[in-house]
Amino acid sequence: MKRVVTLLMCLVTISMLAQTRYNFELVQDNTDPHVFTIYAHPNADATDADLTGVGINVLLPRGNEIGELNGAVGSEWNVRSFTDQHFERLNIDAQGNELFALSSASNQDVFSHRAGTPFALVTFKVTSTPLTGAIELMSNEDAMIKKLNDNALNVVNSILINPKNDGNNGEHYGGLTGITRYSFDRSVSEDDQAFAAAGLETYPNPTTDYFLIKGDIATVKRVEVFDLGGKLVKVIDEYDGEQIDVKGYEDGVYLVKLYADATARTIKLIKKG
């Protein structure tokens, strides 16, 4: 009986480990609209995790370039592009876009993370500084990605990670989350004007343990909080006016980024004592 119980416990543990997932998110820099960071959102803790390889797909208008890749957690990154030569051969209508596949090398540094706390994978710059069009993080379910992958071009989003504390090697990619598309168009839309007129602010500011958003919060779709080092420390989807807890945060200045569809604005928040 003891052996049966032990076996069942092991099977349950393996099943739980297999559910570990990392969702990808594309985050635009607060100061440079052509700099982006891709974050992983883990749904479980890991200690001594070894990042062994990541693949991420980004779509840009044709003629643009990605450079200045800066990998987090000690990783080195490369980028390759898929242009009309690939699309025409496979009869894919790219609608004037070009696909960039970002990938990390294997055997990266060991790190740890907590469930629900996003961590940066790689930061890069659209070095061609486009003023029109958009950048988009592509899903594995997108028809373009499926067709490229079906033809052995291996362009699916993936994350291979080995949490050494549980020995669960293998594929851990979950999906996309948060904002995955940003427009480079500098024209001001009616939505932009409405968002700008919403009178949004953080209160109280400075704060000691919490803050909330004042103004026309119906325009706010999402809230992100960054420290001054650019680290994403909190994400709230579908903000509905609730208090946002920062009690355990270190004192200092934080950047609160508010989103309304493809429009965003950033407010400085001071945390004291």
- Output the pLDDT for position 13: 34
Q: Looking at domain 190-271, does it have CATH number 2.60.40?
A: yes
Do 21-183 and 190-271 have matching folds? yes
Does residue 62 surpass a pLDDT of 80? Answer: yes
Tokens standing for residue 189: 């839309």
Sequence spans of domains, the chain: 21-183, 190-271
Q: Yes or no: say if 125 and 35 are a contact pair by the CB < 8 Å rule.
A: yes
Average of per-residue pLDDT values in the chain: 78
- 246 against 194, higher pLDDT: 246
The CATH code belonging to domain 21-183 is 2.60.40
Does residue 100 surpass a pLDDT of 80? Answer: yes
Grade residue 193 by pLDDT with cuts at 50, 70 and 90. low
- Output the pLDDT for position 52: 67
Give pLDDT tens digits for 174-191.
Answer: 788 877 888 887 555 555
Give the distance from CA 134 to its chain's centroid. Answer: 16
Q: Yes or no: say if 193 and 259 are a contact pair by the CB < 8 Å rule.
A: no
Q: What percent of the chain has pLDDT over 70?
A: 77
- Output the pLDDT for position 74: 64
Burial (Cβ within 10 Å: 0-12, 13-18, ≥19) of residue 92: middle
- Output the pLDDT for position 207: 92
* 38 bridge partner residues: 26, 122
Alpha-carbon span 91 to 84, nearest angstrom: 10
Give pLDDT tens digits for 158-177.
Answer: 776 665 545 555 557 778 88
Burial (Cβ within 10 Å: 0-12, 13-18, ≥19) of residue 227: middle
- Output the pLDDT for position 268: 84
Alpha-carbon span 223 to 245, nearest angstrom: 12
Who contacts 167 (Cβ-Cβ below 8 Å, separation ≥6)? Answer: none
